[in-house]
Structure 1
Amino acid sequence: MSNSMTPWQRTAHGANLLDASGQPGVTIFEEITALANKHEAINLGQGFPDTEGPAEIRQIAVDAILSGANQYAPGSGILELRQAISDHQKRFYSLDIDPNNEVVVSTGATEAIASALLAFLEPGDEVVTFEPFYDSYAAMIGLTNAQHKVVQLKAPNFEPSVNELRQAITHNTRVILINNPHNPTGTVFSTSILNEVIALAHQHDCIIVADEVYEHLTFGTKHVPIASMPGGFERTITISSAGKSFSFTGWKVGWATGPQNLITAIRTVKQFLTYSSGPAFQPAVAKALNLPESFFTGFASSLVQGANILADGLENAGIPVIRPKGTYFLVADINGFKHNDAIEVARMMPQEVGVAAIPMSVFVHPQNASSYQGLLRFAFCKKPEVLRDAVGKLQQLPEVLNR
């Protein structure tokens, strides 16, 4: 990526937003959603739930609006929410977080990620992520004019090679950005991989940015924050949000926790981005974080049901599935079919099948796209009846793939 590019060009290039002529385009999500709407297809492309979060939590936000919580919140977030985040980290992970100095509330997890990268990266620094990666990572790295290096996660296990990880992280690496549980693959990294990341961060004096927005959405395995592991906390910024855990994706309430020096740097950048947001949503999220553990386990169990409905349906149709360990997503493998270019398939599915999905290759650097060209990502965070309807339509997908 040329350093002579303007910031928007670097961002667009990193996020696959340039068309063949190098002009700004639209994301694949916009394109597929538009096709789904045009053909009245079931949209299993974008990862948002079709059910509302708890009614009692929504009512808190309504009451807050009516009582006047409509002006700027404190830049770090209201104390009630920062205390709730601290209590949450203690309750689930035995982490002691100072709500006054080691927490900052953000406009969604994406702003926290952006603030962290803008705070700690200089032009020419290196950032290491796993690939595939959440699309905003490349865009934000491009905006800082840092260099984006990747360690590939290869099907079917999506577990990184330790040797490749060691080769990627060097004395030029400033940030290791890790998403666990991982979107878009649905994998959950082993503690041995997390320990390796910590060891390499110490060896090369790196900061770890841990995007853990799917922390409560794991299936048959427990989420282990990298900050809770030996040697992890002092180098780690942990990021999460209310969007995924409580089905309030539109509220855009996220947060970052970590050592005071790292959080202070994020807060300094954030004040020049949104400064603050969501004054009526913040007290509601504070209450949500204090919901009983049964809420969190129940939500994860409902997602397992959705994952199984979709996975069983695809497998019954003859399409191999890589079953997830967490998140909202599963991966279908169409490599064995005549038409196995997932981008082309995704573009024709809304009309030909009546279901929308996202090609995995859009979550990778263009030069690595061929490694993922036969993989499709489906979101299963939908009502069971919607997924069953989708499964019925997906039975005709193999016929379309073999034409």
Structure 2
Amino acid sequence: MSTATNSSHCSSSTLSDKGPEQDVWSFVNNAASASPVQPIVNLGQGFFGYNPPQFAIDAAKDALNRADCNQCSPTKGRPILKQAISRIFSSSWHQSINPETEVVITSGASEGLLCAFMAFLKPGDEVIVFEPFFDQFISGIELAGGVVRHVPLNPPQQETNSPNGPSNWNVDFDTLRSGINNCTRMMLTMPSRHNPTGKVFTQQELQYIGTLCIQHNIIILSDEVYNQLSYAPLMSPASLAPALYNRTLTVGSGGKSLHATGWKIGYLVGPPPLINAVAAMHTKICYSTVSPLQEAVAVAYIQAEETGFWEESREQMQRKIRRFCEVWDELGIPYTRPEGGYFVLADLSSVRIPETYSFPPWIATRRRDFHLCWFLVQEFGVAAIPPSVFYSENHAHLGENYLRFAVCKEDSLLDLAKERLRGLKGYI
């Protein structure tokens, strides 16, 4: 497969001509500050409410006391971290990954994604994105001059008083096939845990997607930052066939794996031609990634393997999911039980906001999930994310009855959220 960037310009315009709108994170923060119920239980943003494992913290402290760890690392990353990542993927993919030529360390997974977009997209090139999507996908593609082509995951049919499984969020394959054209350069997948549905893509789904990418010479950008927090059988496109590995960039995150999202240590794994192109862009953007935390993640990855931390982390998060979702079972509100990650989507179609309820003008014109978000914050002091923002305008209606809750918090906070959310009984 050729890794040269397309030279044709398939579209004359890529950026939206709509004016700026308040982003969802500012919306939730403003709603929280205006709430009479304090303190706010913040289940909106997906940062952990507790520390990384002690061995990771100790490794960071040790690294700060070493002179070599306080200077710039090689642009592709510290050898010890590339070797640790190589061992993990070589084992799970049952193939040899060369740490020197098939791994690059980036300043968080977000920078890794941006490097991939900048390396392979020219103005007018198109990228297929499954929606709902992680919002930074869109900004990164547009910064590179790319055009987003949206393919929706269809939500499950509501089952009264029964949780819906995330696997019931189905790919619209008809829309996927029709969205591919001569301008399609890249396809962005999230096989290990789709954000925010919690869906883990099946092998059959990934093989079908992979076949389309081979047929149309499309690069696969596989966002697998939650690969250590998957509870269903996990398949990576890169592991399915050599032809798929040769066109796949797999994105990972040390911060997500170790409960340390503020460390911003990401990485990409893939064949040398793709990795070299990403590394060249990474060099231009920030040259190298923070050295002591690279060292700490490397040491922590080694200890995580030795101590069974990954298994413990998965079990802990599944307990939190079950603990929090008890309130939806009590209320008879359907929800998606995530197969990976730590986001729960609750279907609040049955919640009736009083017709006389007053919303500020800047909220009244937005979709129902924004109304639900504001209502929960103001009346119950619980913050969540309205997921219609993770859709294109044409498909935003698919998310407007849901709210997204992050359960990667202390158990006491989850219990407080449950206690407050029981008040929804009076509005069902």
Tell me the SS of whatever aligns to 2:110: helix
- Paired residue for 1:374? 401
Residue by residue over 1:147-177, the C-alpha shift from the partner in whole angstroms, topping out at 9 and shown as x without a partner, is 1111111212212033322222233210001
Whether the 8 Å CA contact 2:214–2:244 is kept in 1: the answer is no
One-letter code of the match for 1:292?
E
One-letter code of the match for 1:99?
P
Tell me the SS of whatever aligns to 1:99: coil
- The 1-side partners of 2:43 and 2:132 are apart by 18
Residue by residue over 1:316-347, the C-alpha shift from the partner in whole angstroms, topping out at 9 and shown as x without a partner, is 12322121111110111112333481111112
- Paired residue for 1:44? 43
| 1:367 Cα offset (Å) | 2.7
Residue 383 of structure 2 corresponds to residue 350 of structure 1: no
- Paired residue for 1:312? 326
- Paired residue for 2:121? 121
2:389 aligns with one of 358, 362, 366: 362
Residue by residue over 1:112-144, the C-alpha shift from the partner in whole angstroms, topping out at 9 and shown as x without a partner, is 100001111111111001000000011111112
Residue by residue over 1:247-271, the C-alpha shift from the partner in whole angstroms, topping out at 9 and shown as x without a partner, is 0100000000100000010011111
Residue by residue over 1:352-398, the C-alpha shift from the partner in whole angstroms, topping out at 9 and shown as x without a partner, is 11111001101011232112111111111112221111111011124
Tell me the SS of whatever aligns to 1:358: coil
- The 2-side partners of 1:63 and 1:337 are apart by 51
One-letter code of the match for 2:174?
N
Residue by residue over 1:183-207, the C-alpha shift from the partner in whole angstroms, topping out at 9 and shown as x without a partner, is 1111101111100111011100010
TM-score computed with the length of structure 1 as normaliser: 0.91
- The 2-side partners of 1:3 and 1:374 are apart by 35
- The 1-side partners of 2:399 and 2:178 are apart by 22
- Paired residue for 2:56? 57
- Paired residue for 2:29? 33
Tell me the SS of whatever aligns to 1:280: helix
Q: Percent identity?
A: 35
- Paired residue for 2:189? 178
- Paired residue for 1:244? 256
Residue by residue over 1:188-231, the C-alpha shift from the partner in whole angstroms, topping out at 9 and shown as x without a partner, is 01111100111011100010000000111122x12111111023
Whether the 8 Å CA contact 2:155–2:398 is kept in 1: the answer is no
One-letter code of the match for 1:64?
A
- Paired residue for 2:105? 105
**Stretch moving more, 184-193 or 339-348:** 339-348
1:295 aligns with one of 309, 316, 327: 309
One-letter code of the match for 2:328?
L
- Paired residue for 2:143? 143
- The 2-side partners of 1:218 and 1:63 are apart by 30
Tell me the SS of whatever aligns to 2:124: coil
One-letter code of the match for 2:52?
G
Tell me the SS of whatever aligns to 1:133: coil
- The 1-side partners of 2:390 and 2:333 are apart by 21
- The 1-side partners of 2:29 and 2:189 are apart by 27
One-letter code of the match for 1:100?
E
Tell me the SS of whatever aligns to 1:124: coil
- The 2-side partners of 1:208 and 1:347 are apart by 37
Whether the 8 Å CA contact 1:45–1:357 is kept in 2: the answer is yes
- The 2-side partners of 1:364 and 1:95 are apart by 36
One-letter code of the match for 1:261?
P
Tell me the SS of whatever aligns to 1:267: helix
One-letter code of the match for 1:66?
N
Whether the 8 Å CA contact 1:216–1:300 is kept in 2: the answer is yes
- Paired residue for 1:83? 83
Equivalence map 1:256-267=2 (5 Å)? 256-267=268-279
TM-score computed with the length of structure 2 as normaliser: 0.86
- The 2-side partners of 1:34 and 1:298 are apart by 36
Residue 390 of structure 2 corresponds to residue 338 of structure 1: no
Whether the 8 Å CA contact 2:246–2:270 is kept in 1: the answer is yes
One-letter code of the match for 2:45?
Q
- Structure 1 residues 367 and 164, CA gap change in structure 2 (3 angstroms): closer
Whether the 8 Å CA contact 2:123–2:145 is kept in 1: the answer is yes
- Structure 1 residues 34 and 56, CA gap change in structure 2 (3 angstroms): farther
- Structure 1 residues 398 and 173, CA gap change in structure 2 (3 angstroms): farther
- The 1-side partners of 2:329 and 2:124 are apart by 45
- Paired residue for 1:168? 179
Whether the 8 Å CA contact 1:36–1:42 is kept in 2: the answer is no
- Paired residue for 2:362? none
One-letter code of the match for 2:212?
L
Tell me the SS of whatever aligns to 1:130: strand
Gaps of 5+ in 1: none
| 1:242 Cα offset (Å) | 0.8
Residue 336 of structure 2 corresponds to residue 322 of structure 1: yes
2:416 aligns with one of 378, 389, 392: 389
- The 2-side partners of 1:86 and 1:247 are apart by 21
One-letter code of the match for 1:379?
A
| 1:92 Cα offset (Å) | 2.6
| 1:94 Cα offset (Å) | 1.7
| 1:33 Cα offset (Å) | 3.1
Whether the 8 Å CA contact 2:125–2:183 is kept in 1: the answer is yes
One-letter code of the match for 2:214?
H
- Structure 1 residues 65 and 38, CA gap change in structure 2 (3 angstroms): farther
- The 1-side partners of 2:49 and 2:397 are apart by 32
Tell me the SS of whatever aligns to 2:286: coil
